[in-house]
Amino acid sequence: MDARSNAKSRELAALASGAKLSRSQLVGLALALLAAFALPWFISDYRNFQFTLAISYAMAVLGLNILVGYNGQFSLGHAAFYAIGAYTAAIMMEQGGFSYYWTIPVAGLVCLVAGFLFGLPALRLEGLYLALATFALSVATPQMLKYDAISPWTGGVQGVSITKPDPPFGLPISQDQWLYLFSLAVMLVLFVCAWNMLRGRTGRALKAIRDNPIAASAMGVDTALYKSLTFGVSALYTGIAGALGAIAIQFVAPDTFNFFLSIAFLVGVVIGGLASIPGAVFGGLVIVFIPNFAEQVSKAAPWAIYGAVLILFMYFMPAGIWGFIRMLYAWFTRKRGGESDSRAR
Amino acid sequence: MDLFLQQTFDGLAFGGIYACVALAVVMIYQATDHLNFAQGEMAMFSTYIAFTLLHHGVPYWWAFLLTMAISFIGGVLVERIIVRPVEGTSVLNEVIVFIGLLAIFNSLAGWIWDYTIKPFPSPFPDKAPFGITFIGPHDFGVIGVTLMVLAAVFLFFRFTPVGLAMRAAAQNPDSARLVGIRVGWMLALGWGLAAAIGSVAGMMVAPIVFLEPNMMMGILLYGFAGALLGGISNPVGAVAGGFMVGVLENWVGTYVPFVGSQLKLTVALVLIVTVLVFRPSGLFGHVVVRRV
C-alpha cells in the first residue's frame, strides 16, 4: 500500500470517528456560530435571558453526557454539582465582591474537586448502584443547602440574590445581551475542550471503559483514575454551567436544585443524543423551551412531556436528535451518490 | 430514658413504612435484577386512588383492598406495556425508562389532583390497644400492617405454586422456561405485587406526612437505604433493614447535635454510600460472585 492511499484512508477514518471535520461540516459550523453570535440583536431581552439559560443547561448536559454517554457511568445527581457551581458564584460575588468572570474558573475547580471526591467511592459502584448513590445525593442536596450552620453564606431557605453584571468597555448593548455573548463564549471554549479531549486517546479510553471495563484494564487503561477523573471533569462542566445559570437568573435558592433538575439534565442528554457533543445544544434548548410552551396547558404538563419523551426516545430514537440529523445527512449524501458516499457517517 | 424509648418507637413506626417500600423494591429487584426508581411515585399515585375512593364514600378497608387490587393490575400493565420493550437491553436504558415513569406519575398526580396538600384518614382507632401509651395508635397499626404484609409475602413465596414459579423464574430464567414457567408473566406478576405492596406503604404514610405528589421522594430514599442495609436480595432482610433505618434516623436526629431534623436525608445518603462501599450485599444478603 503506497503512502498516499494510506494517508487518505487514515483521514477518512478520522472523519468517520468525528476526530476531524470535513469542509462541509466546517461551513455548517461557521454558519451556526455566526447565527448564534448575531442572535441577541434580533430578539427581546427576555428571550436573550432564556437563551443564556439554555446555554448554561447545554453545558451541564454536555458535562453529564461525558459521564453517561462516553464513560457509561450513571448519574442522577448532577443537580448537586450545578448547585455547588451556582452557590460558589453567588457567594463569591455577593460576599467576596469578586467580578462575575472570576467565579467561572473557581466554580469549575470547586466542582472538579467535589466530583472527583464523590467519584472515588463511586468507583466501586457499577451502573445501577451508582445511579442509586447519585439519586440519594440529588434528593439530599436541597436539605443540605438549607443547613443552618452554613446559612450565613448560603442564606438558608431564602437563598442569595445576585446583581447582574454590566457589559464591559461601555459597549452599547444591554446586560442580557452581554451575558448571552459571554456565556456563548464560555460554552464554545468548553465545547472545543470536550471535543479535543474526546476525539483522541482519552476519548478512546473512556469509551473502552464504557464498552468493556475488563478488556480496557487489560489493555493498560487505568480504569480507576479515568473513571474518577471523568466524574470530576463532568462535575466541572456542570459547575461552570451552574455559575453562569445563577448569574443569569440573578438568584440561587435551595429548592431549585432538586431531583427534577437532575432529571432535566438527563432529558437533555437523551434528547440531544448519548455520546454526542453537538446534541447538548439541543438538550439545553429543549430544557428551557418545552416547559415554556407546555406550562400554558398545565403546571404539570412539562414533566409529563419530559417523562414521555424519555421513554419514547429510548424506544424509537436512542441516538437522539443529533443521531437523527446524522442519519438524515447520511441518507442525503448516499442519495446523491458518488464520491461523497464514503464521507457519510 | 423516656425520650429514648419514644424516639425508638417513633422510629419503628416510620421504619414500618420504609420496610414496606423496601419490600416492594426487593420484589422487583428479585424478579428483574433492577431497582425501580418509580416505585415511590407509583405508591403515591395508588394513594391518590385510595383518596378518590374514600372521597366517594367507599368504606376504608374496602377502599384499601380495592386500591391494592387496582395497583396490582396497574403494576402488571406498566411492566407489560412500558418496561417490557427495554427489558434486558442495558442498565442505562432501563433506568432512563424508570425515571421517565417517575416523572409521568408525579406530573399526572399533580395534573389530576393538583399540588395542594390533602389530609388522608388513618384507619386505626384513637387509642392503641392494651392500654399502650408509649406509641401512637397509628404507629402501632403501621407496624402491625407491615408485619402482616411481610407474613403474607413470605407465605406466598414459600407455600404457593405461583410463588415457587416466581422464585424459579428469578433465579434461573432459562431452566424455569424449560419446565414450562412463563418467565415474562412472572416478571409482570412481580411488578404487580410490588405495586400492591407499595400502595400499602403509601396509604400508611399519607396520614403522617399528608398527601401530595412529592410525598414519597424522601421515603423512597429511605426505602432504598433499608433495602440495601438489610440486603437487596433478601425480603426479610429488607424489612429488618427498613425498621433499622427508621430507628437509626430518629436516634441520629435526636442525639447527634449537628444533624437535627435538618440533615435527615443526608443521613440516608451517607448510609447508602457507606453500605454500598463497604458491604454491598447488606447485613443479611448473600454475596453474588460474578464470573468474568
Higher pLDDT among residues A152 and A233, named by residue: A233
> Using one digit for the tens of pLDDT, what is the confidence trace for A12-60?
555 555 556 777 778 888 888 888 887 878 888 788 888 998 999 999 9
Report yes or no: B124 at the A interface, CB cutoff 8 Å: no
With an 8 Å Cβ cutoff, are B262 and A148 in contact?
A: yes
Strands A251-252 and A160-161, how do they pair? antiparallel
> Using one digit for the tens of pLDDT, what is the confidence trace for A170-182?
777 788 888 888 8
Burial of B33 (0-12, 13-18, 19+ CB in 10 A): middle
Which grid coordinates belong to B74?
396497574
Q: Which residues 305-334 of A have a C-beta within 8 angstroms of B? A: 306-311, 314-315, 318
Mean pLDDT estimate for chain B: 83
pLDDT at A218: 86
What are the distances in angstroms from CA A184 to CA A36, A52, A121, A147, B282?
8, 8, 34, 34, 47
Which grid coordinates belong to A233?
471533569
| Residue B250 pLDDT level (bands cut at 50, 70, 90) | confident
pLDDT at A10: 59
Q: Closest partner residue to A300 among B91, B110, B266, by Cβ?
A: B110
Report yes or no: B259 at the A interface, CB cutoff 8 Å: no
Q: Tell me the C-alpha distance between B85 and B60, whole Å.
A: 37
Ramachandran category for residue B28: left, alpha or beta (phi over 0 → left; psi -120 to 50 → alpha): alpha
Tell me the chain B residues in contact with residue A135 when contact means C-beta distances shorter than 8 Å. 37, 221, 224
The closest alpha carbon to A265, from A296, A292, A226, A237, belongs to A237
Report yes or no: A336 at the B interface, CB cutoff 8 Å: no
- Which residue, chain included where needed, has cell 446555554? A55
With an 8 Å Cβ cutoff, are A136 and B273 in contact?
A: yes
Residue A313 has pLDDT above 50, yes or no: yes
SS3 B60: helix
With an 8 Å Cβ cutoff, are B277 and A124 in contact?
A: yes
Min Cα distance A6 → chain B (Å) is 37
Q: Which residues sit opposite A252 in a β-bridge?
A: A160
pLDDT at B50: 92
With an 8 Å Cβ cutoff, are A303 and B104 in contact?
A: yes
pLDDT at A239: 92
SS3 A156: coil
pLDDT at A342: 46
Residue of A68, A73, A129, A309 to mutate, testing the B interface (most B Cβ within 10 Å of its Cβ): A129
> Using one digit for the tens of pLDDT, what is the confidence trace for B110-124?
888 888 888 888 878
Report yes or no: B88 at the A interface, CB cutoff 8 Å: no
Report yes or no: B276 at the A interface, CB cutoff 8 Å: yes
Tell me the chain B residues in contact with residue A307 when contact means C-beta distances shorter than 8 Å. 99-107
Tell me the chain B residues in contact with residue A121 when contact means C-beta distances shorter than 8 Å. 273, 276-277
What are the distances in angstroms from CA A246 to CA A30, A114, A142, A158, B127?
29, 19, 16, 14, 51
Phi/psi for A73 (5° steps) reads -95, 140
Mean pLDDT estimate for chain A: 82
Of the segments A216-220, B8-12, B103-107, which one has the largest average pLDDT value? Answer: B103-107
Q: Tell me the C-alpha distance between B124 and A180, whole Å.
A: 59
Mean pLDDT calculated for residue range A187-216: 86
pLDDT at A345: 41
The closest alpha carbon to A233, from A104, A64, A79, A85, belongs to A64
| B2 CB-side CA count, 13 A | 2
CA A139 to chain CA mean position, Å: 21
With an 8 Å Cβ cutoff, are A263 and B91 in contact?
A: no
CA B278 to chain CA mean position, Å: 24
Residue B74 has pLDDT above 90, yes or no: yes
Mean pLDDT calculated for residue range A224-230: 86
> Using one digit for the tens of pLDDT, what is the confidence trace for A130-183?
888 888 888 888 888 877 777 777 777 777 878 777 777 777 778 888 888 889
Instruction: Convert A305-331 to b/e letters by CB count within 10 Å (16 or more is b).
Output: bbbebbbebbeebbbbbbbbbbeebee
Report yes or no: B269 at the A interface, CB cutoff 8 Å: yes
Min Cα distance B17 → chain A (Å) is 18
Which grid coordinates belong to B97?
425508562
- Which residue, chain included where needed, has cell 384513637? B126
Min Cα distance B220 → chain A (Å) is 10
Tell me the chain A residues in contact with residue B99 when contact means C-beta distances shorter than 8 Å. 76, 263, 266, 307, 310
Instruction: Convert A269-292 to b/e letters by CB count within 10 Å (16 or more is b).
Output: bbbbbbbbbbbbbbbbbbbbebbe
With an 8 Å Cβ cutoff, are B277 and A131 in contact?
A: no
Which grid coordinates belong to B176?
424455569
> Using one digit for the tens of pLDDT, what is the confidence trace for B12-62?
888 888 888 888 888 778 776 778 888 889 999 999 999 999 988 888 889
| Percentage with pLDDT > 90 across chain A | 12
Instruction: Convert A168-207 to b/e letters by CB count within 10 Å (16 or more is b).
Output: eeeeeebbbbbbbbbbbebbeebbeebbebbbeebbbbbb
- Contact between A309 and B79 (Cβ < 8 Å): no
> Using one digit for the tens of pLDDT, what is the confidence trace for A267-300?
888 888 888 888 888 888 888 888 877 777 777 7
| Residue B3 pLDDT level (bands cut at 50, 70, 90) | confident
| Percentage with pLDDT > 70 across chain B | 92
What are the distances in angstroms from CA B251 to CA B7, B221, B254, B272, B283?
7, 18, 5, 17, 20
Residue A160: enclosing H or E segment and its boundaries?
strand A160-161
Tell me the chain A residues in contact with residue B273 when contact means C-beta distances shorter than 8 Å. 121, 133, 136
Which grid coordinates belong to A39?
442572535
Q: Tell me the C-alpha distance between B27 and B35, whole Å.
A: 9
Q: Tell me the C-alpha distance between A126 and A136, whole Å.
A: 15
First to last CA, chain B: 53
Min Cα distance A27 → chain B (Å) is 35
Q: Tell me the C-alpha distance between B99 and A111, whole Å.
A: 25
The closest alpha carbon to A89, from A235, A239, A238, belongs to A239
pLDDT at A11: 59
Q: Closest partner residue to B258 among A76, A124, A149, by Cβ?
A: A149
Tell me the chain A residues in contact with residue B113 when contact means C-beta distances shorter than 8 Å. none
Residue of B87, B273, B290 to mutate, testing the A interface (most A Cβ within 10 Å of its Cβ): B273
Higher pLDDT among residues A75 and A12, named by residue: A75
Min Cα distance A91 → chain B (Å) is 22
| B124 CB-side CA count, 13 A | 19
Mean pLDDT calculated for residue range A208-216: 84
Q: Tell me the C-alpha distance between A54 and A264, whole Å.
A: 12
Tell me the chain B residues in contact with residue A215 when contact means C-beta distances shorter than 8 Å. none
The ipTM value here is: 0.81
With an 8 Å Cβ cutoff, are A310 and B99 in contact?
A: yes
Residue A256 has pLDDT above 90, yes or no: no
Q: Closest partner residue to A129 among B92, B221, B276, by Cβ?
A: B276
With an 8 Å Cβ cutoff, are A127 and B268 in contact?
A: no
The closest alpha carbon to B109, from B15, B34, B55, B42, belongs to B42
